[in-house]
Amino acid sequence: MRRRSITIVEAGEILGLTRSAAYRAAKAGDIKTLRIGERYRVPVAWIENLLGETLDLDGSDSARTDIATTPPRPLSMNSVAK
């Protein structure tokens, strides 16, 4: 089954942010989050829309390698949709 949400840290990794920068961006509202109980999750659809591509999040190492080797697109925190 395809994952519909990921952690803030995982979203930060995809966006090329450090762990602390990802949490700051989420707190500022620059990364869209959903609160589920006491946890915060980031909708995969939001990230895919932001990047304009479908993410392969099947949990395999190859998916992470593909993300890590793809050069990040320039991203201004002001241009991130909320």
| pLDDT score recorded for residue 64 | 47
Q: Is residue 40 part of a domain?
A: yes
Q: Is residue 78 part of a domain?
A: no
**What are the tokens at 8?**
């803030």
**What are the tokens at 63?**
């998916």
| pLDDT score recorded for residue 75 | 56
Q: Is residue 61 part of a domain?
A: yes
**What are the tokens at 50?**
């932001």
Q: Is residue 49 part of a domain?
A: yes
Domain extent at residue 42: 5-71
- Using alpha carbons, list the distances in angstroms from residue 20 to 6, 23, 24, 54: 16, 5, 6, 25
Q: Is residue 79 part of a domain?
A: no
| pLDDT score recorded for residue 8 | 97
DSSP label at residue 78? G
**Nearest CA-CA partner of 15 in 58, 49, 38, 40:** 49
pLDDT in tens, the chain (82 residues): 888 999 999 999 999 999 999 999 999 999 999 999 999 999 999 999 999 999 888 755 444 444 555 555 555 555 555 4
